[in-house]
Structure 1
Amino acid sequence: MNSDPTSKNPEMSMNHAQSAMRLCIYLLLFMVSPCVNAADRPNFVWIMSEDNSTSYLRHFDTNGAPAPHIEALAEHGITFDRAFSCAPVCSVARTTLITSCYAPRIGTQYHRRSKMAAMPSGLKMFPAYLRQAGYYTTNNSKEDYNATKSDDVWDASSKKASWKNRPEPSTPFFHVVTTTLSHESSLHFPETTLKESTKTDPSQVSLPPYFPDTEVFRYTLARYHDRIMAVDNVVGKIVEELTQAGELENTFLFYFGDHGGVLPRSKGYLFESGLRVPLVVRVPEKWKGSVARELGSRTDGFVEFVDFGPTVLKLAEVEIPSGIDGNPFLGKGTDAKEVDGRNETFGYADRFDEKTDLVRSLRIGDLKYIRNFEPYYPDGLQNNYRYKMLAYQQWRDLHNEGKLNKVQDQFFVPKTVEALYDLQSDPHEVHNLASDPKFSKTLAQIRARLNERLKAMPDLSFATEAGLYNMAMDNPVAAGQKHREGIGRLIDIANLSLLPFAEAEPKLRQAIESKSPWEQYWGLIAACCFGPDAAPLSDTVKPLLEKAQPLVVMRAAEFMALATDDDPRPALYRAISGCSIEPEALRVLNSAVFLHDGFGDRLRINASEINLPEALMDKRDVTNRVEYLGR
């Protein structure tokens, strides 16, 4: 017996079949719709060249090297003349880029980290959001992050990673490629290399005024122009690959430097040469409507590395997460006039390998403010990797021989507590206007703006790397919010160095006598900024030479060296032997090198007196300092 009730009713049977067919179609559409949506999104390729600022490319500076492939990107895209990496060194800049967060707010500001920082609660590195939305995300291959990466950031991250390996031709991709051709190490050549010819004529390069005009400097710059031309060839090959695959007009292609550099006084420093990067975005024909700009145009609007991630998410129409510091500068709904009006950028410098010097900068329009929190450290303080470059070595030799003019010599003498530069008239930042009465009002305004930003984050560097290492790296942002008020007090103590000594003295004494070691620490730093003028505080400082906290002892020793004729080396040796973690040791050894190099025979450090725990002696940066002191 047939149990099908439609078997005796052809019309009912036909209706049933049609309904079933419609259901199958609906199910099929439902199943494929995510793929259709994913395929209908643009691709992204980032090409990063290492260590080069805008000055090395003709597209940004008439004295730069020709780069026809990069210039061709600009013809079909947008040039951002004021793009900034926020940090002048790889790991910190790259972490800023991948997290869309300012490094001092999230504890990722030290190069290279002594301990990985946890990502802010609820936040992922931005490629993870693309991946969740159906993108194939790849990185070839440098990461160098100072924050812990979750497993869902990249589909592949290696020297073999490629957008070509995506699972389906319709899968949209985000691919990052880093070329090392322009890396600092390309200028670590021996003196015999000076005999080799370069494509760029050394006699035709334009040296900035802070460099001595020597064969070494001219050859080094010419050689680097050659490296930039090699980078341009890489860009051309990537464009050709995308063209052959039929993907060029579906792909936003970003070319930029990972921070400034790389001749002396750039990488590692908060000058424009260290922070300002070339940025060209080629806009694919298919997605011109996502960009409210004429192709081939340029903008002076300020964009920072914190903005790159949200820009990609905006262009991909992926929701931008909360908890980041950046804002998109391209994409539907982005106002080009608003972007053009952006005129502020924040910069930060902390530890670079074994060299430590806390500096912050704020540029507003063409005015650049630099706040040196440890101004008695000269910019030229020893950093082993930097001084592998012949140009660095020769520059220091000429300083020691007294053969530099005042501008060229600035790099090797103590800095001012604050500096103000008018970049329109002084693009090389050699004429400090901070003491010019005509700029006193402007100086006060930009100083206040920087302080406002430091306290609002808050800036975790005022808690010191050692303090963060011990207490905060499992959740730096939460620790910062918990201690916001205390960090604000430390910033206020640090800013006592901006006052006349007579006005600052009572508060300096109060900080140095505080029960808080961190208030003592910052009180001593501020006091050091006054040099011999602060000698009346020596009776308050001397007892701290016997304290157990190595960082407080180290700062007290620095004070005695700068403000008095006393020999603080015995206390410094005790501070070194009392270090228990790498950040402490690096800080104290940084001070040892400062005394060793900055005070002649009076305070030479005897390497045989250095007694560090065995566990710290296998740390590369610690070893670099000890080896240098033993030369």
Structure 2
Amino acid sequence: MRVLGVLIGILGFALVSSARERPNIVWLVSEDNSAGWLRLYSETGAPMPNIEKLSKQGLVFNHAFSCGAVCSVARSTIISGCYAPRTGTQYHRKQKTVGMPDGLKMFPWYLRQAGYYTSNCYKEDYNFDPAEKKGVWDDSSKKATYRNRKPGQPFFHVQNYHTTHESRMHPTNKEYIRKPETDAASVGLFPYHPDTKTFREAYARYLDLHTMLDAEMGQFIQKLEAEGLMEDTFIFYYGDHGGVLPRGKGYIYESGLRVPMVVYVPKKWKHLVPAAPGSCIDGFVEFVDLSATVLNLAGIEIPAGIDGKPFLGRGVDLDELNRRDTAFGYADRFDEKYDLVRTLRKGRFKYMRNYQPFNFDGLHNVYRYKMPAYREWRERYEAGGLHADQRRFFEPRPPECLYDLEKDPHEINNLADDPVYAGKLIELRRLMQARITSMPDLSFIPESVFLAGGRKNPTSYAKEHKEEIAGLVDIADLQMKPFLEAKGQIAKALSSENPWERYWALITCSAFGQQAAPFFDKAKSMAAADEERLVRVRAAEFLGLTGTADPRPVVMDVLRQTTDPVEANLILNTAALLQETNPGCRFDLGEFHSAAWAKNKTSLARNRLDYLAGENQF
């Protein structure tokens, strides 16, 4: 027994000694910041001297991307190291949580196993089951701090900052009533925003918030300096996704995905990075890479199930890093507003695939329209007071877009129909098709259906349905063919025994609009009698968007049948789309306030129901 005790003691000493030879890692994470709002990246950005100081002894990543443009989706990607559409975590806010991918833990778990103290102060916002957090954090709370570690123990600490969060731009927030210190007349407006006092003050106020944020992070950095930790600690600063001005957060334009990222490198550990202090890295890095990067810096083997790859640590070569030129983005449900958009950026070109192109960007969302700038933008659209680039946010989109970001950084000029760029369009389209079918992308199964059958083990569910999902993607991609060429395949899908093939065939009909008139009679019979409720809704949606038949009786009938709040919210998204597209198509939904799925007054379905009833507009 004594020998065993000695051996255990030796092993314990070896573990602690090994842990002591690992660097500390700190994340300073701000909410809702895209790169262009910082002077570090743009002449019109806010001065952030504390972050700029870190950059002089570190690395600036010129092309860092959140994969999702909203908190829970971005953070679920980070904590798992996996693209959200393959793990079922792509919806914000979660209506039900899901299990982690098979054989994979949230990445701080691996740090703890290697002897790290892990702390998070304090936002999590994961879409995974709470049980998946077991063993992940030593402390995750408002009081969490690395100072509670054992003497000599390395630490991984996350410090979250709420200062620039979208809610600070709402009139109900005390910060909003302060007059902006930044001169509103001096700000440079994005070309898709109207030039108004409201927008100029929103820009100025948001720049002010960045200044406040930098001061707060500076205080934290000063404490690290006072404690003598700077020479043993990597400090990452990044925004958790893009900025909050309209068409930023929640949308996967560059304003919603491209984020600031600076990594301070302690001199003692400079051998773990591929470039000299003060360097700028042009290679693309994504949030899905963060977990692999931290584990690699800590000298921990990267689990096979992680999608990302490290951009710092042993084995990372600068030339290879700078050759990385691809970033993948996804936007699905934002609160009660559904969408399905994917982007693939490769170098200077960005491909955007709108799988439901009739589901326009500006469709109402209660939280989003609390911001005065959003409300004014829509009011000016309805009054006819915008030019073409400003109106586009409230109008149907093309199924696919191609942007040259070098010439068109604000993604205004769609090159998809320009024959000069036909080769690039086809290249990126094929890369996108390969990406989403290989994952596979779970958003091609309606959320309520996925949650009923796959939430406990999403990746296993995805494997079981991989072939089916690939077929659904093929049906959706008929939208990009001339109608006469696609017509036969649409007809076949409309008569399929698989309800989700019928479902996607009807979405594709809606994308074609009046061109799909040959299918009006088929859609009428499906709206009246299809055995799947959601197929009936999509048929009614197609008929309503084309003005062929009144969709309201079908939508009302299906709402009476459903008991699932997730399904109800998806149905109500169709109602909101139809009502906003055609003001004469108003829904009288008063009877549903007593429905089981509507009794929770804070639920997403209730938000949508109240809006359609003329309540809870903003």
Normalised to the residue count of structure 1, the TM-score between the two structures is: 0.94
- Paired letter, 2:325: N
Cα distance, 1:563 vs structure 2: 2.8
Of 83, 93, 116, 2:97 maps to: 116
Of 258, 262, 277, 1:276 maps to: 258
Please give the alpha-carbon distance, in whole angstroms, between the structure 2 residues aligned to 1:612 and 1:210. 41
Q: Work out whether 1:231 is the aligned partner of 2:191.
A: no
Of 500, 517, 520, 2:502 maps to: 520
Match of residue 302 from structure 1: 284
- Unaligned runs of 5+ residues in structure 1 are 1-19
Please give the alpha-carbon distance, in whole angstroms, between the structure 2 residues aligned to 1:529 and 1:56. 35
Give runs of aligned pairs for residues 148-547 of structure 1, distance below 5 A: 148=129, 149-166=132-149, 168-189=150-171, 196-546=178-528, 547=530
Residues 542 and 510 of structure 1, relative CA distance in 2, 3 Å threshold: same
Cα distance, 1:192 vs structure 2: 11
Residues 558 and 30 of structure 1, relative CA distance in 2, 3 Å threshold: closer
Per-residue CA deviation, residues 85-134 of structure 1 (Å, 9 max, x unaligned), is 10000000000001000000111111112211100111000000000000
Match of residue 535 from structure 2: 552
- Paired letter, 1:419: C
Please give the alpha-carbon distance, in whole angstroms, between the structure 2 residues aligned to 1:463 and 1:559. 19
**SS, match of residue 411 in structure 2:** coil
The answer to whether the 8 Å contact 2:296/2:310 transfers is yes
Per-residue CA deviation, residues 388-432 of structure 1 (Å, 9 max, x unaligned), is 000000000000110000001110111111111000000000111
**SS, match of residue 60 in structure 2:** strand
Of 599, 605, 618, 1:622 maps to: 605
Equivalent pairs, count: 609
Match of residue 587 from structure 1: 570
Give runs of aligned pairs for residues 30-49 of structure 1, distance below 5 A: 30-49=11-30
The answer to whether the 8 Å contact 1:607/1:630 transfers is yes
The answer to whether the 8 Å contact 2:566/2:605 transfers is no
Higher mean C-alpha displacement, 385-394 vs 234-243: 234-243
Q: Work out whether 1:128 is the aligned partner of 2:118.
A: no
Match of residue 83 from structure 2: 102
Match of residue 39 from structure 2: 58
Cα distance, 1:292 vs structure 2: 1.9
Please give the alpha-carbon distance, in whole angstroms, between the structure 2 residues aligned to 1:556 and 1:160. 52
Please give the alpha-carbon distance, in whole angstroms, between the structure 1 residues aligned to 2:526 and 2:544. 14
The answer to whether the 8 Å contact 1:550/1:584 transfers is no
Give runs of aligned pairs for residues 6-85 of structure 1, distance below 5 A: 29-85=10-66
Please give the alpha-carbon distance, in whole angstroms, between the structure 2 residues aligned to 1:193 and 1:108. 32
Of 116, 125, 136, 1:144 maps to: 125
Cα distance, 1:174 vs structure 2: 0.3
Please give the alpha-carbon distance, in whole angstroms, between the structure 2 residues aligned to 1:30 and 1:127. 22
Please give the alpha-carbon distance, in whole angstroms, between the structure 1 residues aligned to 2:588 and 2:430. 43
Higher mean C-alpha displacement, 88-97 vs 243-252: 243-252
**SS, match of residue 331 in structure 1:** coil
The answer to whether the 8 Å contact 1:577/1:612 transfers is no
Please give the alpha-carbon distance, in whole angstroms, between the structure 2 residues aligned to 1:169 and 1:243. 18
Identity of aligned residues (%): 48
Cα distance, 1:579 vs structure 2: 2.0
The answer to whether the 8 Å contact 2:589/2:612 transfers is yes
The answer to whether the 8 Å contact 2:563/2:596 transfers is no
- Paired letter, 1:622: A
Supply the RMSD in Å over aligned alpha carbons: 1.8
Please give the alpha-carbon distance, in whole angstroms, between the structure 1 residues aligned to 2:173 and 2:246. 17
Please give the alpha-carbon distance, in whole angstroms, between the structure 2 residues aligned to 1:194 and 1:123. 42
**SS, match of residue 530 in structure 1:** helix
Normalised to the residue count of structure 2, the TM-score between the two structures is: 0.96
Residues 492 and 31 of structure 1, relative CA distance in 2, 3 Å threshold: closer
Per-residue CA deviation, residues 290-327 of structure 1 (Å, 9 max, x unaligned), is 11211000011000001000100000001111111000
Please give the alpha-carbon distance, in whole angstroms, between the structure 1 residues aligned to 2:447 and 2:474. 19
Please give the alpha-carbon distance, in whole angstroms, between the structure 1 residues aligned to 2:133 and 2:200. 45
- Paired letter, 2:15: P
Cα distance, 1:169 vs structure 2: 2.4
Higher mean C-alpha displacement, 562-571 vs 25-34: 25-34
The answer to whether the 8 Å contact 1:98/1:125 transfers is yes
Per-residue CA deviation, residues 152-187 of structure 1 (Å, 9 max, x unaligned), is 100000000000111x22010000011000000000
Residues 612 and 361 of structure 1, relative CA distance in 2, 3 Å threshold: farther
Residues 233 and 354 of structure 1, relative CA distance in 2, 3 Å threshold: same
Per-residue CA deviation, residues 361-409 of structure 1 (Å, 9 max, x unaligned), is 1000010111001111110000000000000000000001100000011
- Paired letter, 1:399: Y
The answer to whether the 8 Å contact 2:146/2:155 transfers is yes
The answer to whether the 8 Å contact 1:78/1:281 transfers is yes
